[in-house]
Amino acid sequence: MSRSRRDIAWIPTFAVLVAFAVPWPLWGVDLTVAGLPVWIWWHVAWLGLCTVLFSLFVRSGAWERGMGRRPESGAGSALGGDRR
Amino acid sequence: MTLGLSLGIVVGYLLFALAVGLVAYRVSETTAEDYYLASRSIGTVVLLFTTFATLLSAFTFFGGPNLAFAAGPEWLIVMGTLDGVLFAVLWYVIGYKQWLIGDRNGYVTLGEMLGDRFGSVGLRALVAGVSLLWLFPYVMLQQMGAGEALVGLTDGVVPYWGGAALVTAFMILYVVLAGMRGVAWTDTVQGLFMLSVVWIAAVWVVSAVGGAGAATGAMLDARPDFGSFGGGIYTPGFIISTAITIAFGVTMFPQINQRFFVANSGETLKRSFVLWPVLVLLLFLPAFMLGAWAVGMPVDVPEGANVLPVVLNEYTPAWFAALVVAGAMAAMMSSSDSMLLSGSSYFTRDVYRPVINADASERREAWVARIGVAVFALLAFVASLFRPGTLIEVGDTAFSGFALLALPVLCALYWDRTTRTGMIAGVLVPQIAYLAVVLSAVVGDVPTLPRTVAGGWDVALGLMVLSALLTVSVSLVTARTADSDASRFAVTGD
């Protein structure tokens, strides 16, 4: 139960990932860092973060649980012994 | 001499792509499932790149840099957000769910899936019809992009219609000869090719102008407003509504949606999902920055030409510029092929067979599909000659049209209480309203209805909300029909 409750946290996480892929806090900022406007760096870093978190989402097994399925074992998922 | 070389490279590359498709065709079986879905046997790399290359169309490749050139590099943020993040989330929410359902019930098209769930041939044909309608401007967009690309590459020696005709001819040839397997394989080759070539181009151009810092400096000297985030056309309303309509629209594109059925395992979808944001960024960053940097370069972009080929012509050798344009045209061709192929399966499976001729032989159906593709591509070619808008405008129209399908489909996927009448109302009413908006701009005698309101908010976004409200409310007041079967969409248990 606690596992699926923790899975709920992915919904706001995805919402934040989508919402702040646009660098809203830097609206109107015109600073240039390392050859590019700083808000472009925000976006680059953010998409990197997305890939990291997406891979966490997949590896934790939340990918299957989100569709009401059991993660297949052996797919690199850290299931632990608490499934039974 | 250089002109001959450039054209030789372009045509040679297109022929090469055709050869890859033919080889793939030779190894394929001749069943419909293989022709359209490559027997659901597509692995991670191929799935990833075939989806990627499908997005890698004239819209991203020429339209994107053009917009960054005209309005600023914020386009990178818009496209990165919608494609890299929002689409990835939808890839899971819509795509994985569809894969699970399709895997159980053997569906090939979206219309087939919905028609079976709601026991309605009408809904099936409606979804297919709506999809084909919006596919038309998007195929046209590829022809416009190719026409403009060759004008830019050859300084106008090859006329606009020539490039558009060339890509149309290859498109038809390709789809008629290959199938999903062929398309998937060339997409992979082209995805990898374009990704490498666009980086080489960026490094080449940037080193020629003295580094990224100097390029950005020159850009800011020419257009100081490009440095700050937002401003000009990039209002919050524009950014949000463009990102939402395009990302949802992309999931309902026949060629993308059909990709949700082709993966060989759930693992394939997972891996693609994880790699997606980075892959998208790798393509968009150099392509769109080149477009934005071009404002600070001493290049002259003729009216109606694409920025990217002009910049490449200026800073890289002619053969390299030709190679990039060839790669882009081939990518557009394979995008169009995927579209035409999916479109033809929508037409034959969801309209022709269930509505027009239920007893057609397989042979006859195959002919109808091929003739349909040729007619569709030729009509789009004729329409592309009128150049009804910029690449971004035409693309956006198509994306929004598809986006209106997404929320009713989401309802059907996740809410058992959805009814057939609810689906039909949720699909049909917003489509009619949006079509009226689009056509009012084309037909001269009626007042043009606004496409955006209150500072860049797209009316299509409002119509998306309407589609969801209609689907839910009409479903609540109507009863489920006897033919509908919510268990068709169940994915748990065995």
Residues of B in contact with A68 (CB under 8 A): 491-492
Q: Is the dihedral of CA B78, B83, B85, B86 positive or negative?
A: positive
Assigned domain for B364 exists: yes
Whole-number pLDDT of residue B39: 53
Distance from CA of B490 to the nearest CA of A (A): 10
Output B479 or B179, whichever has higher pLDDT.
B479
What pLDDT, in 10s, does the model give residues B205-239?
988 888 888 888 888 888 888 878 887 888 888 88
Residue B414 corresponds to which tokens in the numbers above? 């996740």
Residue B20 corresponds to which tokens in the numbers above? 């890859």
CA distance linking residue B197 with residue B183, whole number of Å: 20
Find the residue in A nearest to B493 (Cα).
A69
What pLDDT, in 10s, does the model give residues A58-72?
888 888 888 877 776
Q: How many domains does chain B have?
A: 1
CB B346 within 8 A of CB B142: no
- Domain segments of chain A as ranges: 2-65
Whether B73 has its CB under 8 Å from any CB of chain A: the answer is yes
CB B188 within 8 A of CB B53: yes
With a cut of 80, say whether residue A1 has pLDDT above it.
Answer: no
Q: Inter-chain contact B281–A47, Cβ cutoff 8 Å?
A: yes
In the DSSP assignment, the letter for residue B42 is B
Structural domain span for residue B32: 2-388
What pLDDT, in 10s, does the model give residues B136-168?
888 888 888 888 888 877 777 888 888 889 888
Would you call A36 helix, strand, or coil by DSSP? strand
CA distance linking residue A37 with residue B404, whole number of Å: 35
Q: Cβ neighbours of residue B439 under 8 Å, at least 6 residues apart? A: none
Q: How confident is the model at residue A80 (pLDDT cuts 50, 70, 90)?
A: very low
What pLDDT, in 10s, does the model give residues B377-398?
899 899 888 877 777 778 778 8
Assigned domain for B14 exists: yes
CB B249 within 8 A of CB B406: yes
Residue B257, domain CATH: 1.20.1730.10
CB B150 within 8 A of CB B11: no
Of B216, B224, B278, the CB nearest to A47: B278
Mean pLDDT over each residue of chain B, to the nearest integer: 82
Mean pLDDT over each residue of chain A, to the nearest integer: 78
Assigned domain for B254 exists: yes
Chain A residues near any Cβ of chain B (below 8 Å): 14, 17-18, 21-23, 26-30, 32, 34-37, 39-40, 43-44, 46-48, 50-51, 54-55, 58, 63-64, 66-69, 75
CA distance linking residue B77 with residue A42, whole number of Å: 10
Assigned domain for B287 exists: yes
CA distance linking residue A76 with residue B246, whole number of Å: 34
Query: B93 exposed, middle or buried (CB, 10 Å; 0-12, 13-18, 19+)?
Result: middle
Q: How confident is the model at residue A74 (pLDDT cuts 50, 70, 90)?
A: very low
Assigned domain for B183 exists: yes
Q: How confident is the model at residue A30 (pLDDT cuts 50, 70, 90)?
A: confident
With a cut of 90, say whether residue A53 has pLDDT above it.
Answer: yes
Cα B66 versus chain centre, distance: 17
Q: How confident is the model at residue A78 (pLDDT cuts 50, 70, 90)?
A: very low
Q: What Å distances lie between residue B485 and B95, B414, B418, B424, CA to CA? A: 21, 13, 11, 16
